[in-house]
């Protein structure tokens, strides 16, 4: 009887585990392997626009594994500069998201009942409108004769309109604005669980509110900071829409390079190499971090 129940629950568990596994297999691993394969092949003017990895030349199998796509990425400064610029934009945007998001998450976590629900609603509210539309709206705000310049001129604070569109500033504004909820929500989830008695204990032992925050609240919110930062940083590196609409024209981010290689130049293998390298750049540091720091943090909870 118990034997039956055990096999039953084991089977049920396999089914439950199987669904997400299948999802990841079909929609992540398989496409990834295709892209990986593509990145090692050669461009061709054909449909599809690449050469197969294994060719039969006169009845003899002939391998055509090329690393030239990767080599090319390092020879042309365009790619390296796009990678570095993307990393810089992602790091700066993540930093500002944290700077803005932490106090907001803190206030929401401290708010009482109805207030808390309302504030959380407000954080999620922008998702009701398309991301693309909201970024477009920023053009109207930032452009030469846009809302912000008009207001500043009217108030007499400036006499010449400020150039905000197509600058790094506009990209930061766009990314921080778009991804702020992804910073706030995990931070809120973390801060909300904090035990208020710990801050009272710190005060009781002589810590002023700021010291208590730095020594008690902040260290305990590190898992939330990491989760939020990753949720902002990873998509920010590959961001395409924001820099395309608001960003500089003289400096591309890697997402734009990838799309250009793919759609404009129809160089699928090179585009795939760009994608794989970006993935490695993101995944390897995160994996290393999780191996060392992640486990240490885990043990606190």
Partner 1 sequence: MVDKQQAYVRIEGVSKRFGDFVAVDDVTLDIYRGEIFCLLGGSGSGKTTLLRMLAGFETPSSGRILVDGRDMSTVPPYERPVNMMFQSYALFPHMSVEKNIAFGLEQERLGRDEIRRRVGEMLDIVKMGNFGHRKPHQLSGGQRQRIALARSLIKRPKLLLLDEPLAALDRKLREHTQFELINIQKALGVTFIVVTHDQEEAMTLSTRMGVMNHGRIVQVGTPSQIYESPGTRFIADFIGSVNLFEGQVLGEAEERRRIRCNELGCVIRVDRHLPSAQDATVWAAVRPEKIHMTREPPDGLAQVSPDTENVARGRVRGIAYMGDASVYLVALDSGREVRVTLPNSARDAEQRIGPDEIVFLSWHTGSPVVLTE
Is residue 70 a contact partner of residue 277, using CB atoms and an 8 Å limit?
A: yes
Closest separation in Å from C-beta 218 to partner 1: 10
User: Of the two residues 13 and 215, which places its CB atom closer to partner 1 in the complex?
Assistant: 215
User: Of the two residues 117 and 211, which places its CB atom closer to partner 1 in the complex?
Assistant: 211
User: Of the two residues 216 and 277, which places its CB atom closer to partner 1 in the complex?
Assistant: 216
Own/partner long-range contacts of 242-245 (Cβ < 8 Å, ≥24 apart): 242/135, 242/171, 242/174, 242/175, 242/178, 243/89, 243/171, 243/174, 245/135, 245/136, 245/138, 245/139, 245/174
User: Of the two residues 8 and 204, which places its CB atom closer to partner 1 in the complex?
Assistant: 204
**Whole-angstrom Cα Rg for the chain:** 25
Question: For residue 177, what are the contacts with CB-CB under 8 A and spacing of at least 6?
Answer: 134, 138
Closest separation in Å from C-beta 255 to partner 1: 37
Closest separation in Å from C-beta 202 to partner 1: 7
Residues that bind partner 1 (CB under 8 A): 195, 197-198, 200-208, 211, 215-216, 219-220, 299-301
DSSP tag of 127:
G
Closest separation in Å from C-beta 203 to partner 1: 4
C-beta neighbour count of 191 within 10 angstroms: 20
Q: Would you state the structure tokens that stand for residue 15, as one six-digit string?
A: 């089914």
Closest separation in Å from C-beta 195 to partner 1: 7
User: Of the two residues 234 and 297, which places its CB atom closer to partner 1 in the complex?
Assistant: 297
Closest separation in Å from C-beta 292 to partner 1: 17
What is the distance between the alpha carbons of residues 199 and 234, in angstroms, rounded to a whole number? 33
Q: Would you state the structure tokens that stand for residue 236, as one six-digit string?
A: 């920010």
User: Of the two residues 73 and 109, which places its CB atom closer to partner 1 in the complex?
Assistant: 109
């Amino acid at each position: 009887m118990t034997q039956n129940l055990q096999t039953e629950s084991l089977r049920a568990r396999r089914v439950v585990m199987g669904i997400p596994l299948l999802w990841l297999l079909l929609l992540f691993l398989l496409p990834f392997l295709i892209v990986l394969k593509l990145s090692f092949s050669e461009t061709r003017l054909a449909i599809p626009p690449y050469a197969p990895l294994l060719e039969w030349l006169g009845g003899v199998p002939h391998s055509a594994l090329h690393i030239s796509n990767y080599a090319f990425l390092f020879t042309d400064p365009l790619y390296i500069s796009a990678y570095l610029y993307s990393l810089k934009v992602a790091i700066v945007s993540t930093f500002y998201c944290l700077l803005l998001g932490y106090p907001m998450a803190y206030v929401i976590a401290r708010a009482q009942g109805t207030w808390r629900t309302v504030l959380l609603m407000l954080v999620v509210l922008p998702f009701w409108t398309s991301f693309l539309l909201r970024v477009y709206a920023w053009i109207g705000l930032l452009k030469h004769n846009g809302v912000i310049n008009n207001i500043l001129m009217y108030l007499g604070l400036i006499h010449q309109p400020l150039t905000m569109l197509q600058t790094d500033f506009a990209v930061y504004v766009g990314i921080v604005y778009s991804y702020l909820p992804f910073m706030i929500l995990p931070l809120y989830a973390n801060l909300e669980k904090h035990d208020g008695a710990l801050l009272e204990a710190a005060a009781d032992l002589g810590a002023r509110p700021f010291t208590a925050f730095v020594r008690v609240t902040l260290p305990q919110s590190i898992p939330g900071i990491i989760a939020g930062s990753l949720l902002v940083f990873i998509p920010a590196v590959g961001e395409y829409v924001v820099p395309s609409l608001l960003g500089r024209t003289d400096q591309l981010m890697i997402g734009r390079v990838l799309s250009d290689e793919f759609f404009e130049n129809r160089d699928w293998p090179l585009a795939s190499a760009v994608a794989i390298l970006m993935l490695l750049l993101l995944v390897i540091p995160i994996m290393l971090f999780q191996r060392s720091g992640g486990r240490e943090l885990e043990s606190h909870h």
